[in-house]
Every structure is written in C-alpha cells, then in structure tokens.
Amino acid sequence: MLDLRRIRIGVEVSGQIQFYEGLRVKVTGTKYADPMQNDCTVTISGLKRETRDYLLTETSPFNDNRTPKRLVVEVGRESTGLFRLFAGDIVSSEPSSPPDLDLTIKAKTQNAQAGNIVSTAAPSSARLSALAQQVARDLGLTLEFDAQDKNIGNYQHTGAALKQVDKLAAAGGVVAYIDDDKLVVKDALRPLTNRVRILNKDSGMVGVPKVTEKGITVQFLIDPETAIGGALRIESKINPAINGEYVINQLKFDANTHEVPFFYTAYGARL
C-alpha cells in the first residue's frame, strides 16, 4: 500500500496560526549544530488570492504590526502522522511573476531576537546549566542540556539577545545552538544522548555515503528520529570502510509534495 507523504505549512500572526495543506509545496532549508541560524524557504502554489494577499500583507516589513510572524513546517506520512521539521521567524515573502500564483516565504530561527538588545550579568561563579536556562528564558525557548555541568566565572553579555548563544558556547567550551523552539547545549564532539539514527539500505538510505574532509555526507528519507546534533550510525554494504557512528553537524532538508525530493542530507563528523 502506498504511504503518501504529507506537508503542512503554518503561518502564525499575533499568536494565531493558520495551517495550509493539500497544496503544491516545496520546502528547502538547513539546520546547524552551532550558533548559525537555521533557515527555511517554502514555496506554495495554489493559494486563493485572498489568502495570498493576507500573507503578503501580514509578513511585509512595512506592516505596522511589528510582532514576529512565525513559519512552521510539518511533514510526515499518512501512516505515521506529522512531525515538526522547522519553526522560525519569517524574514521575507514574495509573490511570483504572472501567470503563476506562487508565494515564496523565507524564515530563520529566532530572527526577531537578533534585534533585541539585552544586558545580563551572572554572579562571580555560576553553573553552566543555570546560565543556559537563563539564555533559554531570554529567548523564549525550552532547554535541552546534555553537557557536563561546570562553574563559569564572571559571565556577562550586552548586545543582541540571539548572540547569547555564541557567548554561552564560548564561555562553557560546549556546543550551543537553537533547534526550532529548543536551546540545545551539549559537549563538543559528542552526540546527543539516546539520539541515534541507524542508517542502511533498508532504513531509508539513498545512494552511497560520501567521504568528506571532516567525515561523511549521506542522503536519506526524512524521518522524525533524526536530530541535528544527534548520532548517525552508518551500515553500508557497498562501502563498509565508512561504517560507524558520526555526529550530525549539519542537516539539509528538501521536501516536495509533487516531485521526487523528500530527503535529508546529513554532514557528519566521525566519533
């Protein structure tokens, strides 16, 4: 039985989210296991003119409503349901030229916080986990702390709220990054605990993994188990020399409702 793919796009304005499904949709983007902002581009075809005009108006930089406009992308299969692929702040939306009626929306994680200036200072000695919790609160995120806790001395930050992620990583000697609505803090060169994606020809691998300067790159079907910063266990019969575990440092996604792509492309470093 054919297990059809699903892609649902949500646009949140002033706390109200409107979902769109059943249209021609193309989604591309990249997630990073570092302070670089995740990005996503969505192209939607077949929207009603009223809906298209509403989205263009609400996401315009000239809109008097300055609250962040959020983009949510959910994907999955008919048999397993949807899971969240991306969530971030819309940075632009553009219509296509006639006669097409496409709408292209671009978003980045926590982009609104890049212009929010904060000033924070911790006691002379503070636990890394406590600092991470404070940064998560400032950014409106939940915290996934998966690093060895330690004392940090004289921590302070003045500047963009989003830059606290960089400061936290440097102060603690850890990897810190934002994954949708989570702030993740983990030890360098180690994957997230209990986040292992086993990949072989029977579990969604597409083609043959390729060796890079830093590890490998491999393409596979999109699934809910794979996590940026998690582990990837390669089991290749064609190239067994590269078999083993890797930590995913970059994860590209390409999903399409009416064409072939429905893939992750992971870039991993050997553990």
Write out pLDDT tens, residues 30-42: 999 999 999 999 9
Integer-rounded Cα Rg, in Å, for the chain is: 20
Q: Concatenated DSSP letters for 75-140? A: EEETTTEEEEEEEEEEEEEEEPPTT---EEEEEETTGGGGG-EEEEE--SEEEHHHHHHHHHHHHT
> What distance in Å separates the CA atoms of residue 30 and residue 118, rounded to the nearest whole number?
27
Q: How confident is the model at residue 3 (pLDDT cuts 50, 70, 90)?
A: confident
Q: Which long-range contacts (CB under 8 A, 24 or more apart) does 179-182 make?
A: 179/31, 179/38, 179/109, 179/144, 179/227, 179/228, 179/229, 180/38, 180/84, 180/86, 180/87, 180/88, 180/109, 181/87, 181/141, 181/142, 182/141, 182/142, 182/143, 182/144
Q: What is the pLDDT of residue 142?
A: 96
> What distance in Å separates the CA atoms of residue 80 and residue 6, rounded to the nearest whole number?
10
Mean pLDDT for the stretch of residues 184-197: 93
Global pTM? 0.92
> What distance in Å separates the CA atoms of residue 77 and residue 114, rounded to the nearest whole number?
35
CB 127 within 8 A of CB 151: yes
* pLDDT score of 1 more than 70: no
CB 169 within 8 A of CB 157: no
CB 8 within 8 A of CB 22: no
Quote the tokens at residue 66: 């300055």
> What distance in Å separates the CA atoms of residue 40 and residue 252, rounded to the nearest whole number?
10
> What distance in Å separates the CA atoms of residue 222 and residue 257, rounded to the nearest whole number?
13
* pLDDT score of 66 more than 80: no
Q: What is the pLDDT of residue 101?
A: 79
- How crowded is residue 64: how many other Cβ atoms within 10 Å of its Cβ? 5
Q: What is the pLDDT of residue 124?
A: 82
Q: Which of 47-51, 98-102, 162-166 has the lowest mean pLDDT?
A: 98-102
Average pLDDT score over the chain: 91
